[in-house]
Chains A and B, each alone.
Chain A
Amino acid sequence: MNVLIVGGGLTGSFLAQVLLQEGQQITVIEKRPASADRLQAMLPAIRVIAGDGDDPATLEQAGIRAADVVVATTGDDEDNLVVCLLARQEFRVRRTLARVNNPKNEWLFTANMGVDVWVSQAHVMADLMREEIAKTL
Chain B
Amino acid sequence: MKFVIVGCGRVGSRTASQLSLAGHDVSVIDRDPNAFLRLSPNYRGQTFEGVGFDRDVLIRAGIERADGFASVTSGDNTNIVSARTARNVFRVPMVVTRIYDPRRAEIYRRLGILTISPTDWGATRITETLLHPGMTTLLTMGHGEVTLVEVIASEHLDGHRVDELNIPGEIIVCSLARDGRAVIPTAGTRFRLGDVLSIVVDTLSMGRLQQMLRMP
Contacts and interface: CB of A to CB of B under 8 A. Distances in A.
Interface of A: 54-57, 76, 78-79, 81-82, 85-86, 89-90, 104-105, 107-108, 112-113
13 contacts: A54-B76, A56-B104, A56-B107, A76-B77, A78-B53, A78-B77, A78-B81, A85-B84, A90-B111, A104-B55, A112-B84, A112-B85, A113-B81
A112 B81 CA distance: 10
Interface in B61-93: 75-78, 80-81, 84-85, 88-89
A81 B88 CA distance: 14
Interface residues of B, number: 19
Contacts of A82: 77, 80-81
Nearest to A54: B77
Contacts of A79: 77
B54 A78 contact: no
B81 A86 contact: no
Nearest to B89: A112
Given A56-B104, A78-B75, A90-B107, A85 B85 contact: no
A85 B107 CA distance: 11
B111 A89 contact: yes
A105 B55 CA distance: 8
Given A54-B77, A82-B81, A85-B84, A105 B103 contact: no
A85 B84 CA distance: 10
A79 to B, nearest CB: 5
A105 B53 CA distance: 8
Nearest to A76: B77
A129 B77 CA distance: 33
Given A54-B76, A112-B84, A113-B84, 19 more contacts: A55-B101, A55-B104, A56-B103, A56-B107, A76-B77, A78-B53, A78-B75, A78-B77, A78-B81, A81-B80, A81-B81, A82-B80, A82-B81, A90-B107, A90-B111, A104-B54, A104-B55, A107-B55, A108-B53
Nearest to A83: B77
Q: Report, nearest first, the 10 A-B pairs whose CB atoms are least far apart.
A: A78-B77, A82-B77, A112-B88, A78-B81, A81-B81, A78-B78, A89-B111, A79-B77, A107-B55, A82-B80
Given A81-B77, A82-B80, A108 B85 contact: yes
Contacts of B81: 78, 81-82, 108, 113
Nearest to B112: A89
Nearest to A106: B55
Nearest to A112: B88
Interface string B83-117: 01100110000000000010110010011000000
